[in-house]
């Protein structure tokens, strides 16, 4: 069975670099955005909403928008009773906020009608909700249901997996990367890999001008030698 040559050592060094847990994702990521004292059903809804807001949006902006929503009592019913203009004003300036207002209203109505106000507990059903993609669905399973159905791959995980050659051949999309990673990465690492690589991508393995000189993997990273 194929696996990347140095992956265990690369992973261990990334864990070392992430030890202080001080990246934006650690302090303001979706797992920090919901009210952990809320009833489980409300908590899960808040996780899903934070994920919907987080798409193509910095963690700091998502976190601030969630805080404003939560101040108004963030539940399925409160969002259903809110008009679109008000919702837009609260979540602005998250990326594509106008689209997200529509998706949030549509998805919340579906949750109320079809799931009794809770969120679905399978990746397939989550992905049928307006505005919910594969990465969000897998993260919702991890965070809201504490269930690992697959690897959550965003742009950071996609980029770094390709740089480290953790994919047999170059992948063109996060979804392609997810399939490639799940093919060889041991299942007990599937949950950890997202937050590890996202924080690493925010702090060290940046999209442009990665900080290779500060990276512990400099000597065993296929991309570092070319940069």
Q: Which two tokens stand for residue 37?
A: 């004292």
66 neighbors 51 (Cβ within 8 angstroms): no
Contact 132, 126 (CB under 8 A): yes
Q: Rounded CA gap, 52 and 59, in Å?
A: 12
Closest to 205 measured CA to CA, from 152, 154, 164, 153: 164
DSSP labels, 46-94: HHHHHHHHHTTS-HHHHHHHHHHHHHT---HHHHHHS-HHHHHHHHTTS
Burial of residue 74, with CB atoms counted within 10 A of its CB: 0-12 exposed, 13-18 middle, 19 or more buried:
buried
**Which residue blocks in the chain are alpha helix, DSSP H?**
7-17, 24-28, 40-54, 59-71, 76-81, 84-91, 97-115, 123-127, 134-145, 155-163, 174-182, 190-203
Catalytic residue among 100, 105, 135, 191: 135
135 among known catalytic residues = yes
- In 3D space, the residue among 170, 163, 168 whose CA is nearest the CA of residue 182 turns out to be 168
Residues 118 and 138 sit within 8 Å (Cβ to Cβ): no
Catalytic residue numbers read: 135
């Amino acid at each position: 069975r194929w696996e990347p040559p140095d992956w265990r050592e690369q992973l261990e060094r990334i864990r070392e670099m992430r030890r202080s847990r001080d990246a934006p994702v650690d302090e303001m990521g979706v797992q920090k955005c919901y009210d952990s004292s809320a009833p489980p059903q409300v908590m899960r809804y808040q996780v899903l909403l934070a994920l919907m807001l987080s798409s193509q949006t910095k963690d700091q902006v998502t976190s601030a928008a969630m805080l404003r929503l939560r101040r108004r009592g963030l539940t399925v019913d409160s969002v259903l009773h809110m008009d679109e203009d008000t919702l837009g004003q609260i979540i602005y300036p998250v990326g594509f906020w106008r689209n997200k207002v529509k998706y949030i209203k549509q998805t919340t109505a579906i949750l109320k009608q079809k799931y009794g106000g809770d969120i679905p507990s399978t990746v397939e059903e989550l992905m049928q909700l307006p505005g919910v993609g594969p990465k969000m669905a897998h993260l919702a399973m991890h965070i809201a249901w504490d269930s690992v159905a697959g690897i959550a791959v965003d742009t950071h995980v996609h980029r770094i997996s390709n740089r480290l050659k953790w994919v047999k051949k170059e992948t063109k999309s996060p979804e392609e990367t997810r399939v490639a990673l799940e093919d060889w990465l041991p299942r007990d690492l599937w949950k950890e890999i997202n937050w590890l690589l996202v924080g690493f991508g925010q702090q060290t393995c940046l999209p442009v001008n990665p900080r290779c000189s500060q990276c512990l993997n400099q000597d065993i990273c296929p991309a570092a030698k070319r940069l």
